[in-house]
């Protein structure tokens, strides 16, 4: 009887989880539309009425524009977070292609920071969901570029090891590092160690990474020496046959 009760509880948790995910998806999807409308009209005000606005008005409008942009980034990240839960079939995916796509999406930021990016040759083919793997690499590399002290040029190293059927990828940076106290917490949603004035962000990136890795049946963790850099590791399965 205890067993039956546990099963019923589990089913209930599953159902409410699915509902919550559906809610997050719809909310972030549908809320973007009116937000876009606000952003468009603010931009129009800024452009069309530039000569009629005084400095104070222009400043207020720019705050509105930045707020809308931040909210849109948050919605996009939430949308991505809720999408990862919606199970996808895993299939062989070439990491060469995935990593190239991630770097392509980050090209502007890489150019801006003058970062040095080193990618180990011969990236393997893994069992995965391609778009989610692109996001996983992209989030980790984006953080490696972002959490760098201003007097350093970011250096990012992507390497991997293979042990049987398990591939461990590592993304290492020479950034500000993370105190060991926070090594688990940072993978939770909305967990940030810095204010927005210091580093812009939503606190969703690593939570997405953890969901993607979970979905792939792997593990994700971080090693870091504060002040010297961090290395994020995650495991996925090698595609065989």
**By the criterion CB under 6 A, which residues form the site for ligand ADP?**
139, 143-144, 147, 173, 175-178, 186, 191-194, 201-207, 230
Q: How far is the CB of 51 from ligand ADP (least distance, A)?
A: 37
Q: Report d(CA 155, CA 174) in Å as an integer.
A: 6
SS3 assignment, position 204: coil
- In this structure, are strands 116-119 and 155-163 parallel, antiparallel, or unpaired? parallel
Judged by CB, which is closer to ligand ADP: 125, or 191?
A: 191
Q: Report d(CA 144, CA 140) in Å as an integer.
A: 6
SS3 assignment, position 230: strand
Q: Are 160 and 120 spatial neighbours (Cβ–Cβ below 8 Å)? A: yes
Q: How far is the CB of 144 from ligand ADP (least distance, A)?
A: 5
* Burial class of residue 46 in the structure, from the number of CB atoms within 10 Å of its CB (0-12 exposed, 13-18 middle, 19+ buried): middle
Judged by CB, which is closer to ligand ADP: 148, or 239?
A: 148
Q: How far is CA 52 from CA 39, 43, 130, in A?
A: 19, 14, 49
Judged by CB, which is closer to ligand ADP: 80, or 173?
A: 173
Q: How far is the CB of 154 from ligand ADP (least distance, A)?
A: 10
Judged by CB, which is closer to ligand ADP: 170, or 237?
A: 170
Judged by CB, which is closer to ligand ADP: 136, or 206?
A: 206
- In this structure, are strands 166-173 and 229-237 parallel, antiparallel, or unpaired? antiparallel
Judged by CB, which is closer to ligand ADP: 123, or 176?
A: 176
Contact partners, residue 169, CB within 8 Å, separation at least 6: 95, 137, 158, 159, 160, 233, 234, 235, 236
């Amino acid at each position: 009887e205890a067993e039956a009760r546990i099963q019923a509880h589990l089913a209930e948790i599953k159902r409410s989880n699915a509902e919550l995910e559906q809610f997050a998806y719809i909310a972030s999807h549908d809320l973007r539309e009116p937000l876009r409308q606000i952003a468009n009209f603010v931009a129009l005000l800024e452009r069309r009425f530039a000569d009629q606005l005084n400095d104070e008005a222009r400043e207020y409008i720019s705050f509105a524009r930045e707020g809308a942009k931040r909210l849109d980034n948050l919605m996009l990240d939430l949308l991505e977070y809720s999408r990862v839960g919606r199970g996808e079939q895993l299939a062989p995916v070439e990491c060469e292609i995935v990593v190239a796509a991630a770097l392509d999406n980050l090209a502007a930021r890489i150019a801006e920071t003058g970062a040095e990016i080193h990618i180990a040759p011969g990236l393997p083919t893994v069992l995965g969901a391609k778009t989610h793997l692109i996001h996983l690499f992209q989030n980790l590399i984006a953080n490696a570029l972002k959490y760098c002290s201003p007097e350093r040029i970011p250096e990012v190293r992507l390497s991997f090891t293979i042990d049987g059927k398990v591939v461990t990828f590592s993304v290492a940076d020479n950034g500000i590092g993370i105190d060991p106290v926070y090594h688990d917490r940072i993978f939770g949603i909305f967990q940030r160690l810095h204010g927005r004035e210091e580093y812009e962000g939503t606190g969703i990136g690593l939570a997405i990474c953890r969901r993607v890795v979970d979905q792939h049946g792997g593990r994700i963790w971080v090693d870091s020496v504060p002040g010297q850099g961090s290395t994020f590791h995650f495991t996925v399965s090698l595609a065989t046959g």
